[in-house]
Amino acid sequence: MTTLPDIPLLSTIRSRTIDNINGLSMHVLEAGFETRGRPCLLLLHGFPELAFSWRKVMPTLANAGYHVIAPDQRGYGRTTGWDANYDGDLASFRLLNLVRDALGLVSAFGYTHVDAVIGHDFGSSVAAWCALVRPDVFRSVALMSAPFAGAPPLPFNTADAPAKPVAEDPVHRDLAALPRPRKHYQWYYSTREANNDMHHAPQGLHDFLRGYYHHKSADWKDNKPYPLKSWSAGELAKLPTYYVMDFAKDMAATVAEEMPDAASIAANKWLPDSELSFYSGEYGRTGFQGGLQWYRCGTSGAFTSELQTWSGRTIDVPSCFISGKQDWGTYQRPGVYEAMQSKACTNMIGCHLIDGAGHWVQQEQPKQVSRLLLQFVKQLAEHDTQ
């Protein structure tokens, strides 16, 4: 690790590596470490980001009295011990093993519980399962930019009328058959080619990430999300191309079409080129396959039966949801945003859509996110003292 470049962080955030975390040497960013005995908050990033994505909210949370821990998750950044091979052990990237990673990290820091686990994007899924599986450890959960649908159901009442075999989802065939043929990004991300397409993007990795982050941010003016009616080709085709891609294009070509001009890049305050360079340097070194394995675990369906162990279980610890008002991620799975509030989470005490933020909400609007997170954990603390 000593040969890697310094991370552009405030002096109040330190970088360190914790060994023997479920087979990993886990790289973490840490704030509020100066004094012991603080309550702990665990921050889990998504794709294609890193612990670095929390750099703007960590100092504020630490100043409020918390020990704030943000790891590079399995498959990402400076965390090692995972297999970057497409044909490697996919099971190590399944959701329950990612929960085990989080548990191991919390325990390594000497905590029996954390006040909140806070997850963004795919990290939101991990945070949700942390709260579902171990509510004794993860006392509350903040889900960001990716709502939680709940545990997958078990086949029900099939003793006398056996369940029909699971059919292949027709939506992919229907998307490909549209007058403008399309494909879903998660299934593209599950292909062998996806990592190389992005890692060796024709425009260069740095410009690929610039285009990708821009396309999914509030800076891209066509991000005006609204609920979709159904999981059908006609409805999904309304999503921007970073979610439902043109069939013949890879992700590098998709975001190249929306590349911001030089003046827009120079004016970008939430992700200046100096900070983007850290992302592009890290992904240049590791590639994307570690993160893409997470998608493959989902699209393959290989681990659904394991998750069905919690069929019918709800998230009962206090929860909240935070997303950008210009983020399609809230609605990309039709009905999930509503199901999260009505069924999956029984103690949801706030849903917040922040104007002026797209998908990268804690980077685009860190002050608003910090305010809402502190409001959330303060409500919990006040309730506990009553």
256, 184: one domain: yes
Flag whether 166 is in a domain.
Answer: no
If DSSP codes are grouped into helix, strand and coil, which group holds residue 19?
A: strand
Instruction: Please indicate, yes or no, whether residues 231 and 287 belong to a single structural domain of this protein.
Output: yes
* Residues 287 and 311 reside in one and the same domain: no
Contact of 17 with 1, CB cutoff 8 Å: yes
| Integer Cα distance of 355 and 376 in angstroms | 19
| Residue 284 shares a structural domain with residue 176 | yes
**Could you tell me if 336 and 216 lie in one domain?**
no
Q: Please give the chain's pLDDT, 386 residues, in tens.
A: 458 999 999 999 999 999 999 999 999 999 999 999 999 999 999 999 999 999 999 999 999 999 999 999 999 999 999 999 999 999 999 999 999 999 999 999 999 999 999 999 999 999 999 999 999 999 999 999 999 999 999 999 999 888 787 778 999 999 999 999 999 999 999 999 999 999 999 999 999 999 999 999 999 999 999 999 999 999 999 999 999 999 999 999 999 999 999 999 999 999 999 999 999 999 999 999 999 999 999 999 999 999 999 999 999 999 999 999 999 999 999 999 999 999 999 999 999 999 999 999 999 999 999 999 999 999 987 777 65
Q: In which domain, by residue range, is 226 found?
A: 171-291
Q: Is 65 helix (H, G, I), strand (E, B) or coil?
A: coil
Q: Are 171 and 299 contacting, i.e. CB atoms less than 8 angstroms apart?
A: no
| For the chain, the helix, strand and coil percentages under 3-state DSSP, each to the nearest 5 | 40, 15, 45
Q: What is the total count of domains within the chain?
A: 2
| Whether residues 43 and 107 fall in one domain | yes
Residue with tokens 């494909």: 183
Cα-flanking dihedrals φ and ψ of residue 277, to 5°?
-60, -30
What is the CATH classification number for the domain harbouring 309?
A: 3.40.50.1820
Of the residues 232, 262, 291, which one is the last residue of a structural domain? 291
The answer to the question of residue 69 being in a domain is: yes
Please say which residue of 242, 258, 291 terminates a domain.
291
Q: Do residues 28 and 145 both lie within one domain? A: yes
In this structure, the answer to whether residues 110 and 51 fall within a common structural domain is yes
Domain membership of residue 333 (yes or no) is yes
Spatial separation of the C-alpha atoms in residues 249 and 37, rounded to whole Å: 52
Q: Are residues 118 and 68 in the same domain?
A: yes
- Whole-angstrom CA distances from 336 to 146, 149, 233, 287 are 9, 5, 17, 31
Do residues 283 and 336 share a domain?
A: no
* pTM, entire model: 0.97
Do 65 and 90 sit in the same domain of this protein?
yes
One-character DSSP codes across 251-315: HHHHHHTTPPPHHHHHH-SSS-HHHHHHHHHHHHHH-SHHHHHHHHHHHH-TTHHHHGGGTT--B
If DSSP codes are grouped into helix, strand and coil, which group holds residue 345?
Answer: strand
Q: 337: part of which helix (H) or strand (E)?
A: helix 336-339
In a domain, 5, yes or no: no
Q: How far apart are CA 118 and CA 109, in angstroms?
A: 17
Q: Are 181 and 143 within one domain?
A: no
Nearest residue to 93 (alpha-carbon basis) of 114, 76, 108, 78: 76
Is 298 domain-assigned? no
Query: Residue 297 falls within a domain, yes or no?
Result: no
Of the residues 268, 291, 314, the one at which a domain ends: 291
158 found inside a domain = no
Structural domain includes residue 162: no
Of 21, 23, 25, residue with least CA distance to 4 = 25
Name the DSSP letter for residue 93: G
